[in-house]
């Protein structure tokens, strides 16, 4: 049986539940023990001597859970934006090929610096994507 031993344990429980069930966690913290309907396998320990402490612990866990949710959301967005940037660069490189095929003098006689820089940017973005510590869902790898 898992036992609640820190505010992070409470935040983990909250993160696994629908937000409508979060008040049940606060009640479990106040009453202690195990066998609560939302998580019968979790032992919430002894109830605190001062009931307000349970509420304070709950509030801190809510803040941690919300911050974690926002961080995952931002990490998902970052992953998507890097992916979109790579796609835009690939399209730009194709545009240069089209301009060259259509006889645009700048790209027929040019030294290819624009194309080379775009390809380098694509490589740098791919490297940034690989260096991130989160995946496309915003979860730690």
Residue 21: pLDDT over 80: yes
- Exposed/middle/buried for residue 84 (C-beta within 10 Å: 0-12, 13-18, 19+): exposed
pLDDT in tens, 64-109: 999 999 999 999 999 999 999 999 999 999 999 899 899 988 888 7
Kindly give, in sequence order, each residue whose CB lies less than 8 Å from that of residue 16, ignoring residues fewer than 6 positions away: none
**Of 113 and 108, the one with more pLDDT:** 113
Which contiguous run of DSSP H or E holds residue 103? Answer: none
**What confidence tens digit (pLDDT) does each residue in 33-65 have?**
999 999 999 999 999 999 899 999 999 999 999
**pLDDT (0 to 100) of residue 109:** 75
CA distance 82 to 125: 6
- 112 confidence band (pLDDT: 50, 70, 90): confident
pLDDT higher than 80, residue 110: no
Which pLDDT value is given to residue 28?
97
- CB-based burial of residue 87 (10 Å sphere; 0-12 exposed, 13-18 middle, 19+ buried)? exposed
Angle between the 22-31 and 7-16 helix axes, to the nearest 10 degrees? 140
Domain boundaries, the chain: 2-67, 76-131
88/80 Cα distance (integer angstroms): 12
Whether the predicted pLDDT of 128 surpasses 90: yes
pLDDT reported for residue 119: 94
Cα–Cα distance, 89 to 118 (Å, whole number): 6
pTM: 0.79
């Amino acid at each position: 049986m898992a036992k609640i031993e820190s505010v992070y344990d409470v935040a983990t429980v909250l993160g696994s539940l629908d937000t409508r069930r979060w008040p049940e966690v606060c009640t479990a913290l106040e009453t202690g023990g195990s066998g609560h309907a939302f998580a019968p396998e979790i032992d919430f320990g002894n109830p605190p001597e001062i009931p307000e402490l349970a509420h304070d612990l709950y509030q801190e866990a809510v803040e941690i859970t919300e911050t974690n949710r926002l961080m995952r959301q931002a990490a998902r967005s970052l992953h998507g934006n890097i992916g979109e940037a790579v796609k835009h660069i690939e399209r730009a490189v194709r545009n240069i090929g089209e301009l060259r095929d259509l006889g645009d003098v700048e790209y027929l006689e040019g030294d290819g610096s624009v194309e080379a820089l775009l390809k380098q940017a694509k490589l740098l973005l791919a490297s940034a994507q690989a260096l991130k510590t989160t995946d496309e869902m915003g979860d730690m790898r």
